[in-house]
Amino acid sequence: MKKKLKFDTYLAGGMHGRLGRDVLNEREQARAICKELGLKPYDPALDEVIPTDKVIDAKPDLRRMRWFVDKDFKNLDKCKSITVLTGDKSSSGTAWEMARMFFKWKRPIILIAPKMYDKRLCNFTTILATKICATQLQALKWVRANI
């Protein structure tokens, strides 16, 4: 029997080293587009404490990092796809999330990556992603049409 998945897409993307306000705004915009399109996203940032006025710490303690990984993988496994909000920038966490979707589940990986979309950047992810889009709206419309 095929397991029913709870979410249409997992909103992935680099957070560490960025201003909390920027990360939260980017994710709020993605969730609003999902709502408008009738998609059910999972956003890992919603159950994490992200300071709006500070750069997100790239060195949380080991216990907290294990909690992030366990929580994120548990919820990633309930998603039909992964949408990477920061597709042009590498993030170790996002790379592992994409790898899990690619190797374990064979589910779509959608990148919001304007530089890859315009062919100004090319790397492994450019080749292995299911779809590369220039904007959040373009990416999430693709999810709605194909998931």
1 domain residue, yes or no: no
Q: What is the mean pLDDT of residues 66-76?
A: 95
pLDDT at residue 93 in the model: 93
Residue type, 129: A
Q: What is the pLDDT of residues 101-147, one digit of tens each?
A: 999 999 999 999 999 999 999 999 999 999 999 999 999 999 999 99
Q: What is the pLDDT of residues 19-70, one digit of tens each?
A: 999 999 999 999 999 999 999 999 999 988 887 888 877 677 899 889 999 9
3 domain residue, yes or no: no
pTM of the model: 0.94
How many angstroms separate the Cα of 134 from the Cα of each of 23, 85, 108, 116, 117? 18, 10, 17, 8, 6
Task: Tell me the pLDDT band of 1, cut-offs 50, 70 and 90.
Answer: very low
Q: How many structural domains comprise the chain?
A: 1
pLDDT at residue 2 in the model: 56
CATH number (domain holding residue 67): 3.40.50.450
Range of the domain at 124: 9-146
Sheet order of strands, 109-112 included: 41-42, 9-12, 82-84, 109-112, 131-133
Asked if residues 134 and 117 have their Cβ atoms less than 8 Å apart, the reply is: yes
Q: What is the pLDDT of residues 77-114, one digit of tens each?
A: 999 999 999 999 989 999 999 999 999 999 999 999 99
93 domain residue, yes or no: yes
